[in-house]
Amino acid sequence: MVDQDFGGVKAHVCINGCKGIYFDWLQMQKLDHKNQGFGEALQAALKYPRTNDDNRERLHCPKCKLLMYRHQFALDNEVNIDECYGCGGIFLDSGELQNIRDHSMTKPQEEVYLNKLVEAMPETKALEQQEEKDEKRADALAHFTRFLRLSYYMTGH
């Protein structure tokens, strides 16, 4: 792995091998949309053809050596990324960064997608039900306590 600068974003690229890219924690999100980053190293990385072998063994994190977990990239269901749950690093197979950038969502699309994820969470329904109960309770308390306010008696009720 060779350290490269993708326009203010440091990445580690397997230059003489698989052409994969390893990003330290929170670095990939600086490049996951079109027109982010710059430089020859980034342009070269974006030109590598995509190789994605679903049958390959799990990778060890280049940084902390823990086994990485493969899962779909949150904003692109066509790309699987390898993530280290120890240090937060992300490994992309060659060509996957280009795929992610090609399928990047607009801000409104991201909002719709994230809202859909939040609505699908079981906790969301429970929180909405609790909020509804709390509103009803607050209304009942406000109705009940109106007799305790001086203004109730001053208006001639």
Tell me: do 33 and 87 sit in the same domain.
yes
- pLDDT reported for residue 133: 92
Report how many domains make up the chain.
2
| pLDDT string in tens for the chain (157-residue length) | 888 888 888 888 888 878 888 888 888 777 776 666 667 777 777 777 677 666 778 889 988 999 998 877 776 667 788 899 999 998 888 888 887 777 766 778 778 877 777 777 778 778 888 899 999 988 888 777 766 666 666 665 5
- pLDDT reported for residue 135: 92
Tell me: do 58 and 97 sit in the same domain.
yes
Q: Is residue 114 part of a domain?
A: no
Q: Is residue 72 part of a domain?
A: yes
Tell me: do 58 and 33 sit in the same domain.
yes
- pLDDT reported for residue 80: 81
Neighbours of 83 (CB within 10 A): 18
Going from the C-alpha of 107 to that of each of 15, 30, 61, the distances in angstroms are: 33, 15, 31
Residue found under tokens 């994190």: 61
Q: Is residue 63 part of a domain?
A: yes
- pLDDT reported for residue 151: 66
Tell me: do 31 and 83 sit in the same domain.
yes
Tell me: do 126 and 99 sit in the same domain.
no
User: Could you tell me the residue range of the domain that residue 133 belongs to?
Assistant: 121-154
Measured between alpha carbons, how far apart are the two ends of the chain, in Å? 80
Residue found under tokens 């974003």: 9
Tell me: do 42 and 92 sit in the same domain.
yes
What pTM did the predictor assign? 0.59
Tell me: do 53 and 126 sit in the same domain.
no
Phi, psi of 95 (to 5 degrees): 85, -15
Residue found under tokens 């009940």: 144
